[in-house]
Amino acid sequence: MLGIAMSFRSRYVGCSISLTAGVAILTRFGLAFRMVSSAIEENLIKDLVDVPFNYGLAIAREPDKQRDGNLTTSGPGGFWVVEATHSITGKKELVGCGGLAFIQDRKEGELRRVAVSCRHSRRGVASMIIQATLAHAKTHNLPSIYLLTSSLQDAAVALYKKHGWVVEKTSEELVVGCRVCTIHMRVRLKEQLFFLVNIDTG
C-alpha cells in the first residue's frame, strides 16, 4: 500500500514539474511575442502617423479624385490599400495595406507594413499588394526591394520567397529568454551587368 502511494506521489510530482515547466516556457514565449509585437506596433505608429511623407504620396491631380482627398504616388515610394465592397450592402471595408519606402542613400526600396485583415486572409490580398509594389518599383527602375521580418512569421516568409525574395542574413536576439530571429530579405529587380573591355595598349 505504501509503495503504491509513493509511486502515485512521485508520478504526481513528475506531472506537476512537467506542467509547471510547460507553463513557464509558454509564459516566456508569450512575453517574448508580446514584446516583439509591441515593438512592431510602436514602429507602425511612427511610420503611419504621416503616410504621405514617409511613402512619397501627393494629392491626386484629377479633379474628381482631389475632391475625395485621394493620394497618389509621386516617385519611387508608394502605399497601397485594398478595399472589399459588400455585394449586398455596398459597404466598403479595408482589408489590407502595404507600403514601399524609398531609401534615398541606398537608392532602393523597402517593403513595409504589409497587413491583411484576418477575415480576408488566404484570399490573395497580400499577393495583390506585393505585385503592385513590384510593378511600381520596376516602373521606377529600383534595383531591389529589401524587407525585414521575423521567425515568428513563417507564413509571411514563405509568401515573400514565393514572390522572389531571398534570405540574405539572419540575426538572433534573446527576448525574455526566447530566441527571436530577425530575417533580412531582398528581391533583385535587375541584376548588375559587368562588361569586360579589352584595351589594346600595343
178-199 tens-digit pLDDT: 788 999 999 999 764 444 444 5
C-alpha distance from residue 32 to each of 20, 52, 61, 78 (Å): 18, 32, 46, 32
**How far, in Å, CA of 83 to CA of 125, rounded?**
10
Give this prediction's pTM.
Answer: 0.69
Q: Which of 90-99, 134-143, 170-179 has the lowest mean pLDDT?
A: 170-179
pLDDT tops 60 at residue 9: no
Going by C-alpha positions, the residue among 187, 190, 142 that lies closest to residue 168 is 187
Average pLDDT estimate for 164-188: 88
Residue position matching grid coordinates 510530482: 13
**How far, in Å, CA of 107 to CA of 93, rounded?**
34
Which pLDDT score, from 0 to 100, does residue 109 have?
A: 96
Cβ neighbours of 130 (radius 10 Å): 24
